[in-house]
Structure 1
């Protein structure tokens, strides 16, 4: 058993009595009420999922294991020669809640080196798809192709299944997925966009640096990959990709089935696909209004009002939960401002000016609860600057990062024995009846 798995085993054993006590002694304590608009409107803000991996506060933004993004970056051991942590260090932190030592990070890195080799049949399955298939289809197919070797599925089918130890085989599958998914993503990128010029794994590099190496990127992109995968890793359990993964795994479907479902949800334009839509809009905005000139406050203000008055939205602004600027946006903005060349890039300058102007315009417009930018308002600009101009691939990058949170969550789901998810439905007639009566009368 790996050192990380030993630590996680102790953490799960210590946590189980807390969950058991809550159900047995306090199971009937009410923590929320459900309104008709929540019922019809996608179960928005209904407190009905449990995760200790991350929490999204409307004012503070995301906290990973209780730490803000700046606190997380500051606390974790850094990659050699970098101010950013390795993804391996972050994985240990997400699973355990503990800041790892460098020795513990090295142990995870060594473990991932043994797990990251992707079977040839996976690449064969991807190659068998039409070459114009969307990269997210290729990623989803790759995960399902790996399913035949699922250790959790084998354990369940062995006749020796034990719900108290089921998390151990989920951990094995989850660890395989997070170690292999950047290798698969790099293969997809090279297959579709670099003439199938594949680059072998460099066993000396950490996960983020190795991804940059495998897609032929320059040295600075190693920090982009580390930052990007960490920032996109988790965002509570209620977003589509995390919830879909949790939902499917709650049926004891193995992690490959579960994360393939999560990837399919991430591919939606209201979720992970939004980053490429924001970049597309920003570039059209640049072409239409800037025409080669420096974006001024007056120019951008007028252009944003023209956009809103035409009945269009400003992509990348607003969030379902946040009521302030997304800290993930600010982390990427800080990276841009501290990177020579990138801070002077015309597209970044436009994004910066929109950031300066848009909140005031949207507030005056009065039709948005949150006039601040989210993560998608910034991320595409960085990828474009470094030459990743194939928008269809951006959501794959998101999917590599999101695997960390989803896999950490379902490992804990099994560790604590969470039940199959099965909400109760009502009919429209029931809602109309309760609306007329001023509410449902509880028996």
Structure 2
């Protein structure tokens, strides 16, 4: 057992070092304006700074009128095809669409029936993890955070690669990416099962993925003790995966993929870095905040139909007087979208169907009421350069809760979807053989002379 004095001295030293680190890393915010630094690579009007070109995904939220950009309903486009057309296309056929969407993102065109069948079969064959991998890499070192578990597993797969893991040729990269796309559901679910067993004392279930099932079906099959699910549940999870699969090259985790890939490193390192980015609460972890915020709302708002009480709570949120006191209404507003987030619009429609099937219409109505009132409260309380609307996180957390998915898997589900987009962007970076990405940072430190140790 550690000596209490040692711990106390160590903490005191750490406090001292923390103070030094804070004092000597602070930069006067006015300097960012002085040197025209676009913090977060964003212009003052909220648009991203153009740093690259892509054919994979496009996010539109403005139209041009009289030479000016005017906010408009958002559109998300995969390889030139509107996401609304993609979802309507496969849903009208009564089938799952994530595998088709993945093919589109990777190869730039919609597959024929034969191409789709062959691709689905290939993914099915690649879903199984290497022998003993689950025992040695997942169960023997269970993590309390599934995103960290997934990142560690991805890096470990480097050692299990049957070819040359450092080969960045297009053929080898494609082979590695398809394997990761196929195995991500297992990495996420097994990571959760290990956590639930070793950290929460629950029974351990390890179901082998079924090659004939879709990605969404396999997630539910492996996660649930009885492996049972309804068609509607699988359809809604499949839809959520499609809506999260891609969002242009500028989102943080996809840009991370481009950034790390540009250095010439291996696929596993690139995807593990993207997972680290997505884990952040400002990125993939946002839907968790929405769910927890709503839990707090239920405790503090007795009548879900009382709009005055709702507005009062939302105002207290903005004033840092409620929930986590961060001054944010989670799930409302987006860095790009203003009038509407097309992903939220699509997900909302099908969330209503699942809510009806689950007997949760009152809760769904509560969500829609918040969606309507939050922009009004924000507009009244704050000055904004653009409007705000519900983003995809607003409804995805509600959908996952209706599917009885554990909170620990919310962000990993996002990763299972986004690995398709990350893979497409890694391939695009490799095909175009761009330069290593290296933006400029200006030093604002004063020049000083070196002082001898005895004179300090």
TM-score class normalised by the smaller sequence: 0.7 to 0.9
Tell me the alpha carbon deviations over residues 30-62 of structure 1, each in whole angstroms, 9 at most, x when there is no partner. xxxx98686251212110122211011124232
Partners of 1:135 and 1:188 within 8 A in 2? yes
Task: State the structure with more CA Rg.
Answer: 2
**Is 2:120 the partner of 1:109?**
yes
TM-aligned CA deviation for residue 342 of structure 1:
4.5
Contact 2:245–2:417, Cα closer than 8 Å, also in 1: yes
**C-alpha separation in 2, matches of 1:206 and 1:318:** 32
Q: Is the 8 A contact 1:89 1:105 kept in 2?
A: yes
Give a deviation string over 1:332-357, Cα, whole Å, max 9, x none: 11111223235734432221110121
**Separation of aligned partners in 2, 1:275 and 1:362:** 19
For each residue in 1:228-264, what CA deviation from the matched residue of structure 2 results, as whole angstroms up to 9, or x when unmatched?
Answer: 2111111111222111122111111111110100001
Which residue of 278, 281, 284 corresponds with 2:296? Answer: 284
The secondary structure found in structure 1 opposite 2:40 is coil
| In 2: Cα distance, 1:77 partner to 1:276 partner | 28
- The 1:255–1:142 alpha-carbon spacing in structure 2 relative to 1, beyond 3 Å, is same
Answer yes or no: is the 8 Å Cα contact 2:123–2:211 preserved in 1: no
Return the alpha-carbon distance in structure 2 between the equivalents of residues 190 and 352 of structure 1.
33
For 1:120, what is the secondary structure of its paired residue?
A: coil
Task: Say which SS state the counterpart of residue 56 (structure 1) adopts.
Answer: strand
* Distance in 2 of aligned mates of 1:384 and 1:151: 38
Of 377, 385, 401, the match for 2:394: 377
Aligned match of 1:28:
none
- 1:274-293, CA deviations, whole angstroms, 9 ceiling, x for partnerless residues? 11011101110111113xx3
Residue 191 of structure 1 is matched in structure 2 by 194
The answer to whether the aligner puts 1:242 opposite 2:258 as a matched pair is: no
Tell me how far apart the structure 2 counterparts of residues 351 and 215 of structure 1 sit (CA, whole Å): 27
Alignment counterpart, residue 157 of structure 2, candidates 143, 146, 150: 146
Please tell me the root mean square deviation across aligned C-alpha atoms, in Å.
Answer: 2.4
Q: 1:74 aligns with which of 65, 72, 88?
A: 88
CA shift for structure 1 position 408: 0.9
Q: Does residue 203 in structure 1 map to residue 211 in structure 2?
A: yes
How far apart, in 1, do the equivalents of 2:369 and 2:36 lie?
36
CA contact 1:174–1:255 (8 Å) conserved in 2:
yes
Task: Please tell me whether the aligned partners of residues 296 and 353 of structure 1 are also in contact (alpha carbons under 8 angstroms).
Answer: no
Secondary structure of 2:111 counterpart: coil
Seen in structure 2, the aligned counterparts of structure 1 residues 237 and 358 have a Cα distance that, compared at 3 Å, is: same
Task: Provide the secondary structure at the position in 1 that maps to 2:37.
Answer: helix
**Matched-pair contact (CA < 8 Å) for 2:192–2:408:** no
Partner of 1:31: none
Q: Aligned match of 2:79 in 65, 74, 81?
A: 65
Partner of 1:10 in structure 2? none
Corresponding residue for residue 55 of structure 2? 52
Q: What do the CA deviations read for 1:297-344 (whole angstroms, capped 9, x no partner)? A: 333223222333446221111111111221111111111122323573
Q: Distance in 1 between matches of 2:137 and 2:244?
A: 27
- Alignment of 1:300 with 2:310, yes or no, is yes
1:169 Cα deviation from its structure 2 partner? 1.1
Deviation at 1:155, TM superposition (A): 6.1
Corresponding residue of 1:344: 360
Equivalent position to 1:94, from 101, 105, 108 = 105
CA-CA distance at 1:120 after TM superposition: 3.2
* Stretch deviating more after TM superposition (184-193 or 326-335): 184-193
Contact 2:59 2:77 in 1 (8 A): yes
1:341 match: secondary structure: helix
Q: Structure 1: which 5+ residue stretches go unaligned?
A: 1-33, 431-443
Q: 2:130 aligns with which of 119, 132, 152?
A: 119
Residue 330 of structure 1 aligns with which residue? 345
Post-superposition shift, 1:189?
2.6
Q: Is the 8 A contact 1:75 1:99 kept in 2?
A: no
- Shift of the 242–227 alpha-carbon distance from structure 1 to 2, 3 Å rule, reads same
Aligned partners of 1:237 and 1:243 also within 8 Å = yes
Q: TM-score, with normalisation over the residues of structure 1?
A: 0.80
Task: Give the stretch that moved more between structures: 65-74 or 398-407.
Answer: 65-74
Partner SS state of residue 424, structure 1: coil
Q: Distance in 1 between matches of 2:358 and 2:377?
A: 26
What's 1:42 paired with?
Answer: 40
What is the aligned partner in structure 2 of residue 229 from structure 1? 241
How far apart are residue 204 of structure 1 and its match? Answer: 2.1
